[in-house]
Amino acid sequence: MKWLQKKRVLLLLFLGFLVIIFFNSSWLSLFYPIHYKEEIKYHASNNDLDPLMVAAIIKVESNFKTGSESKKGALGVMQIMPDTAKWVILKAKLEDIPLEKVKGETGANIQIGTWYLKSLSDQFEGNPIAMIAAYNAGPTNVKNWIKSGRWDGSLEKSNDIPFGETRHYVKRVSHYYEQYQNIYESL
């Protein structure tokens, strides 16, 4: 009988140890790493964006893989479409960044992506959920959904987003953003 009690105590201690390790943010950061912290922090700050939101978008877009190119042709860690990159380069006066750098150079990709996110944030009056949706579906679609009353721009009503891909995207980015907020005090 005493041996069984000792086993239970040891099991409870072991489980307690696992719980402490798992909920310690330094351990959790192994499951939710953020790469390119300096570039994210720098460009997010320059564009008045939350760096953890930018990191969550990068996580969902490319899982931090440099040089990524989607089947649709989106480029780099932030998966920027070439036409969008050209538009940002022109509007932001970033002519020193050739389109080739958008795919392969993480800093240039994040610079263009964060500038674009800032323009979306401005278009949607700082609504981060609408900004996320517009990054995926395009601002015209999101404006039409909100204007028509189809979606109100909130996370709570994200099931009302007409595009399944965008609905899923908004939920995934929001999930990673929440995890990053719980794990990292800041970048």
- Residues annotated as catalytic are 61
CA dihedral of residues 131, 135, 140, 146 (deg, nearest 10): -40
144-183 residues labelled b (16+ CB within 10 A) or e (exposed): ebbeeeebebeeeebeebebeebbebbbbbbebbebbeeb
